[in-house]
């Protein structure tokens, strides 16, 4: 990515994030109100993720699992399931974009504890800002093996352009509107055993 396109992209991300935040403010308020109505707080899920150049930042999402319960099934609740199904749980990441931690398009940011597991080639995914959606997300998302996700991430880093970003954005919108079954909770963590 050229430095010029990087600057234009980041400025465009922030402008669009401001517009979306204003337009979607009633949705934010409604979701927050539902959380308090259900007595399911805190509303926001925070997690330390790996950003550009291996820096660490705090990612924000609407929390989709209860803090109580000994099994995954006991921790799920209808609002969290709905938000994951519609991808509305990602809305608070507009704040990450405004802060400069993320972009709309880029490799998905992974948890901090994954950092020591990456190979030198896989670390190249951190040469660009992480995104809310990316090439791996439109090509299988949670159904992909980790090595395939990383291959898509590296391809993105090496070929990033306005055309590629626009293509990913359009295909992401199509996927969201297709309302496919959410299987994000079934994804296996990245470990040394599935490193290759």
Better-scored residue on pLDDT, 105 or 175: 105
Q: What is the pLDDT of the chain when averaged over all its residues?
A: 90
Q: What's this model's pTM, rounded to 2 decimal places?
A: 0.88
List CB contacts of 95: < 8 A, sequence separation 6 or more.
60
196: pLDDT confidence band, cut at 50, 70 and 90? Answer: low
Predicted local confidence at residue 52, as pLDDT: 96
Residue 45 has pLDDT above 80, yes or no: yes
Please write down the HEC assignment for all residues of 78-130: HHHHHHHHHCHHHCCHHHHHHHCCCEEECCCCCEHHHHHHCCCCHHHHHHCCC
17, 97 Cβ separation under 8 angstroms:
yes
As for how many domains the chain has, the answer is: 1
Vertex 78, ends 73 and 82: CA angle to 5°?
Answer: 115
Residue 34 has pLDDT above 70, yes or no: yes
Predicted local confidence at residue 179, as pLDDT: 73
Tens-place pLDDT, residues 60-111: 999 998 887 778 778 888 899 999 888 899 999 999 999 999 999 999 999 9
Domain of residue 75, residue span: 3-186+190-194
């Amino acid at each position: 990515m050229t430095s010029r396109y990087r600057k234009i992209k980041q400025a465009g991300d922030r402008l669009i994030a401001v517009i979306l935040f204003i337009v979607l403010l009633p949705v934010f308020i409604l979701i927050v109100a539902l959380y308090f109505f259900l007595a399911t707080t805190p509303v926001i899920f925070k997690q330390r993720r790996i950003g550009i150049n291996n820096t660490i930042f705090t990612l924000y999402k609407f929390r989709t699992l209860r803090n109580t319960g000994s099994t995954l099934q006991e921790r799920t609740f209808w609002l969290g399931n709905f938000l994951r199904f519609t991808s509305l749980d990602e809305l608070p990441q507009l704040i990450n974009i405004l802060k400069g931690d993320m972009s709309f398009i880029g490799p998905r940011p992974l948890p901090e504890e994954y950092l020591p597991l990456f190979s030198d080639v896989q670390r190249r995914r951190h040469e660009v800002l992480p995104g809310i959606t990316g090439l791996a997300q439109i090509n299988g998302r949670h159904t992909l093996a980790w090595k395939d996700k990383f291959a898509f991430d590296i391809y993105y880093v090496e070929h990033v352009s306005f055309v590629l970003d626009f293509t990913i954005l359009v295909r992401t919108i199509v996927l969201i509107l297709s309302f496919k079954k959410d299987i994000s909770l079934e994804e296996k963590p990245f470990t040394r055993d599935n490193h290759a």
